[in-house]
Structure 1
Amino acid sequence: MNFYSIAMTKEIDTGESPTVSNVMARIRQHIFEGIYAPGQRLIEKDVVEEYGIGRGRAREVLKSLVGEGYLEFEENRGVRVRRLTRQGAIDIGRVREVIEGLAARLAAERTFTDEERSTLANIQAEMDRATEERDAETFAHANRRFHDLIVEVADNSVLTKQLEILRVPIFRIQFQQSFTTASMGERNKDHQRITQALLDGDADAAEAAMRDHVRRGNARLVEFADRLFG
C-alpha cells in the first residue's frame, strides 16, 4: 500500500455504524479518485443520505474536511471541493519544495534495505522506459510510487502528515491532465539524480536534487491555462 493509499484509507472503519473519521476517509478517497471533482458542491443532506450518518455528524465531517484543506466554504454557497488558485498552487509548491527535500535527506541518511534499494532501482527503470516510450500514464504511476517510497524510507511521522496535506489530492487531480510527455524527459533526469544520491547515501545531494525537482515543477504552473484555477 502506497503513501496515498495509506493517507486516504487509514481511518476507514469496517463497522456497521459509520463514524465521523470513517466518512471523512471515504470522502478523501472519493476526492482522490476524482469522484468528487474540484469545485463540486457537497451538500449536507447528500452526505447524510450517501453515508448513512446524522446531520450533526455530517456537519462535523464537512467542517473537519474544510479544516484539513480538502473542502472550502463559500459564503451563501456552502461547501465545495477545494479548487486552487494559481497563487495557492504556487504557495503549496514552495512549501513542498522544502519538505520533499527534507524527506529525500532523511531517506538518504538511512541505510536502505536490499529490498528498498531494489524497489527504488526498479521504479527508476520503469520511469526510464516510460520516458523512452513517451508513455505518460505509466510514468505518472511510477512517479507517484517513487515519491511515496522516499517518504516511507524517510520514516518521519510528522513529515508524512504534513505531506499528506500538502500533496493535496485535489492538486494532483486538478492538474494531472496538464503534465504531458513534453516534460517527462526533464523530470526523469531529476529522478535519476535523486535516485543516485539516495543509493549513494549522499544526503546533501539528495535534498538539493529533490528541491530542484519540485521547484521546476512549480515553475510550470505559470504555463497552465486559467480554466484550471479557481
Structure 2
Amino acid sequence: MTAKSAKKTTSAKKLTTADIVAELRQKIATQILLPGAHIPEEEIALTYDIPRAKAREALATLEDRGLIVRIPNKGAVIAAVDMASTYHLYEIREVLDGLAVRLATQNTTADQWRDIEAQFGEPFEASLKNGDIDSHIATIEAFRRRIKEAANNPVLSDMIDRLHDRTAVTIRRVALLPGRAQEGVKQYRAIVSAIVQGDADKAEACARILNRSAREYIERYKNFVF
C-alpha cells in the first residue's frame, strides 16, 4: 500500500473503523495488498480521510486478527502466508466448520436451503468450466455466510472469521490446483445435500472431509501454493 497507488475514499458517509477494517481485510484476501507490503498508519489516515487515532485502531484490529505484523523500524506490514501456519489453521478449520454446519443443520429446515442448493447446481459447475474463479468462490463465500448465520453462535462465528481471514489467500490458490475445484464441487454438494436432509451428523462429516481434502492438496502442491 503506497501513497501513490492509494485512492482517497470520498463518500458522504464517514466510514467507521469496522468499515475500514472490512475493506482492508478484503484487499488482503484478494492480494491487492500483498504479503510483506508496508501499510503505514499515515497512509490509511490519508486514504480514508480519518484521524491518525482511528487509523491506529484499524491497524490494531488487523494485527489482532493476525493479518499484519509490526516490524521494528519499519512499522506494519502484511503478514506472510506460510505452509506450517496455514496447515495448522486448516486443522482447526476442519473442527470449527464442522461444528458450524452441524448447528446450521439443526437450526433450519430444508426449504431454507433451496436457493443455496440451486446455486450449487449447474451454475456452480458452469463458473468453474468457464474459468470464472471469482464467481465460483463468491458462491462458496455466500454459502459460508449462510452457515454462520444459521449456526447462530457469535463466538463460533468470530473464531471462523479469524481463521478465514488468515486462509483467504490460500483458498484462492488451492482452488486453482489440478483437480481441486472439481473435487470441491462434489464435496460442497454433499454438505448441502446432508443439510437439506436434516442429517447433522452427515453434514458435519462432509464439512470435515472438505477441509481435510483441501489440507491434503496444500501438502501435495505446497511448492505451488507458497
Normalising by structure 1, report the TM-score.
0.79
Q: Which residue of 2 aligns with 1:111?
A: 108
Establish whether residue 81 from structure 1 lines up as the match of residue 60 from structure 2: no
| Coordinate RMSD, CA, aligned | 2.6
The alpha carbon displacement at 1:213 in A equals 0.7
Q: Which residue of 2 aligns with 1:90?
A: 87
User: Compared with structure 1, are the counterparts of its residues 83 and 174 closer, same or farther at alpha carbon in structure 2 (3 Å cutoff)?
Assistant: farther
The alpha carbon displacement at 1:19 in A equals 4.6
Q: Which residue of 1 aligns with 2:180?
A: 183
The alpha carbon displacement at 1:222 in A equals 1.9
Contact 1:110–1:201 (CA under 8 A) maintained in structure 2: no
Mind listing any 5+ residue stretches in structure 1 that lack a counterpart?
1-12
**Aligned to 1:62, which of 45, 59, 62?**
59
Establish whether residue 160 from structure 1 lines up as the match of residue 184 from structure 2: no
User: AA paired with 2:45?
Assistant: V
Contact 2:110–2:197 (CA under 8 A) maintained in structure 1: no
User: AA paired with 2:209?
Assistant: D
Establish whether residue 120 from structure 1 lines up as the match of residue 119 from structure 2: no
The alpha carbon displacement at 1:186 in A equals 1.5
User: AA paired with 1:145?
Assistant: A
Q: Distance in 2 between matches of 1:165 and 1:14?
A: 30
Establish whether residue 48 from structure 1 lines up as the match of residue 45 from structure 2: yes
The alpha carbon displacement at 1:71 in A equals 1.3
The alpha carbon displacement at 1:22 in A equals 4.2
The alpha carbon displacement at 1:44 in A equals 2.0
Count of residue correspondences: 213
The alpha carbon displacement at 1:36 in A equals 1.9
User: Compared with structure 1, are the counterparts of its residues 56 and 145 closer, same or farther at alpha carbon in structure 2 (3 Å cutoff)?
Assistant: closer
User: AA paired with 2:119?
Assistant: I
Q: Distance in 1 between matches of 2:77 and 2:162?
A: 17
Normalising by structure 2, report the TM-score.
0.81
User: Compared with structure 1, are the counterparts of its residues 14 and 203 closer, same or farther at alpha carbon in structure 2 (3 Å cutoff)?
Assistant: farther
Q: Distance in 1 between matches of 2:20 and 2:185?
A: 37
Contact 1:103–1:154 (CA under 8 A) maintained in structure 2: yes
Q: Give aligned-pair identity as a percent.
A: 25
Contact 1:107–1:151 (CA under 8 A) maintained in structure 2: yes
The alpha carbon displacement at 1:119 in A equals 1.1
